[in-house]
Amino acid sequence: ADFNIHNYAMSGYGNYQSLLQLRDLLQQKSAPEVVILAYGSFHHQRNVASRMWEQTIAGIPFATGFAYPYLRLEEGVMQHYNAPLVYDLWPLQGLSAAVHVAEGKYAQQHESTLNADAVTQHVIDEIHGICQSHEAHFILANVYDTEASARMLQHYAGKLPVIDLSLPPGDTTVQLSKY
């Protein structure tokens, strides 16, 4: 059998950007037969543009001034934003380990308030819904070996096809698990 495969992955994108790409694709072309969404728990930060994600991409030339699309769940309503990501160092952060650690704790606390799991589930559900409405098969493929990723696969087990393509750190063998 012949397959025509298109990879729309982009370095630095999250699942929300994948959703936007799928919408654009469907306006330009007919629906694909199968959509495979590469998912890893690291996408949570990207989907909500957390402070930790801003720190990760700070100073990367392609990200400078780039309007980054992201979602936030605010008072029960999903809000879309499209803004440059700006990471501002705390005073003395580059000079003091204590300030650096405090900023890291603040960033983790801030991220926990963004409901990133719920936002990511919303995005996955929306992609799944679009696929259903276009009679395309949808597969959620985990690519990152973490407890958070495993919880997400368990959440969707039995609801849609999921596959775990992740490898534990340092593992060079390939084992596929179906949930």
Report pLDDT for 174. 62
Q: Is 90 exceeded by the pLDDT of residue 92? A: yes
Report pLDDT for 30. 87
176 closest CA partner among 137, 139, 148: 139
| Integer Cα distance of 117 and 95 in angstroms | 33
pLDDT of 31-83, one tens digit each? 999 999 999 999 999 999 999 998 888 777 777 777 889 999 999 999 999 98
Percent residues over pLDDT 90 in the chain: 65
Q: To which residue do tokens 């990152």 refer?
A: 144
Number of neighbours of residue 49 by Cβ within 10 angstroms: 22
Mean pLDDT of the chain: 90
pLDDT of 112-171, one tens digit each? 899 999 999 999 999 999 999 999 999 999 999 999 999 999 999 999 999 998 887 777
Report pLDDT for 60. 76
Q: Is 60 exceeded by the pLDDT of residue 179? A: no
Our measurement of the distance from residue 114's CA atom to the centroid of its chain's CA atoms, rounded to an integer in Å, reads: 14
